Amino acid sequence: MNANPVRELLAARLVRGWVRLYTAGLPAGVRDGRREEIDGDLWEQVRDGAQIGRTPRYFRSDVLVRWLLGVPADLSWRVTKGARDRGIETLIQQIKLGSLEGMMALDSKQFLSETFGMVAEKHSKDHPLFDLIEQGLLRKEQLRGFVKQFYLLFPKPFPKPIAAMFARSPEDSELERMWMENLMEEAVGGQTDTAGHRDLYIRFAEACGIPRDELDATLPLPETQALLNWRELLISQRSWLELYACQGMALEGTASGRMHKVVNGLVDHYGFERDSEDILYWTVHMEVDEEHMLVGPYAIEKYAVSDLEQASVRRSLQITLDTFWLAYDGIMRAFVDNDPLYSSWREAAGSPS
């Protein structure tokens, strides 16, 4: 092959430099094996090109195009290897979070305690909306507004988000067990021998006078949509550790307290019996979410061991707590405060403007 070796080397050096970057921090056998594999691929490209008379320019272009197209696969390969403290996963976190030089990682138990403190400062059960429900201070049409928006947050999309979270699990049998039990409970009531949680909620809504077609036609408030969007971003664009921490600590992690307040209000003020199957969605979650939330503390204590991991978890957890709170703010503004900006949602919900 009549290729200029310097020009070929420049293209190959870019690829080799990238390989060195995303394999840094891996065990020597895995790291060296990957680097040798890529070196072999580059050599085969040169050999094959020479045999069919390809020009040096074609070689350079082919190498660079294959490199760029292969970056997503390289990143995926790296993440599956589970190295946490160096390499491309660290690089990604630095890009997301900015420079974090000088930060020191906390002991994992100490960091877990910090995250529990963050949740306690903005626990969703403490939102004024749940006090109004528990005290029976919502009128029927206001309660209907809450019931319909809450449906969009959890019962309607589930269990698919849980399945997506399960799919991102590292090779950890305890995490896999937790997610499998969670998924089966959400889908078919596997732990409680009840029914799928969406079906339980639809029964509750119908007992509140909201038929299935009306429930499914509910338009999300902007704040409701914000939480849905953030959860989707967590699932698709944040690390599995951030996702598990936020789901376990902030979303399911605060569910039991919310459910107790809702059940108290439904029983004391809205005509439901505590053992009624009509409110089984709420009473089941009082129990099962105490177990389902354990995925958060487990993942944090075991895997959030570097400063970058702790910083990313801290940041995403706070965003989740804030966005979750905001979702209930929206329900308050729309159906309790009767904010004029929300008149179209009240009309769609059958509430007076």
Reported as a single tens digit per residue, the pLDDT across 196-240 is 999 999 999 999 999 999 999 999 999 999 999 999 999 999 999
Reported as a single tens digit per residue, the pLDDT across 245-270 is 999 999 988 888 999 999 999 999 99
With a cut of 60, say whether residue 102 has pLDDT above it.
Answer: no
Burial class (CB in 10 A: 0-12, 13-18, 19+), 295: buried
Rounded distance, CA 172 to CA 189, Å? 24
Distance of CA 121 to the CA centre of its chain: 21
Q: In this structure, are residues 155 and 259 in contact, taking their beta carbons and an 8 Å threshold?
A: no
> Which domains are present in the chain?
5-83 (no CATH), 108-349 (1.20.910.10)
Nearest to 220 by CA among 152, 294, 127: 152
Here the tokens at position 26 are 């891996």
Reported as a single tens digit per residue, the pLDDT across 114-137 is 999 999 999 999 999 999 999 999
Give the residue-averaged pLDDT of 179-191: 91
pLDDT for residue 84: 42
Nearest to 243 by CA among 231, 252, 254, 255: 231
Question: Which residues does 300 contact at the CB level (< 8 Å), separation at least 6?
Answer: 108, 111, 112, 115, 241, 245, 249, 313
Q: In this structure, are residues 283 and 203 in contact, taking their beta carbons and an 8 Å threshold?
A: no
In this prediction, residue 30 has a pLDDT band, given cuts at 50, 70 and 90, of confident
With a cut of 70, say whether residue 167 has pLDDT above it.
Answer: yes
Burial class (CB in 10 A: 0-12, 13-18, 19+), 179: buried
Q: In this structure, are residues 126 and 315 in contact, taking their beta carbons and an 8 Å threshold?
A: no
Question: Which residues does 105 contact at the CB level (< 8 Å), separation at least 6?
Answer: 111, 305, 306, 307, 309, 310
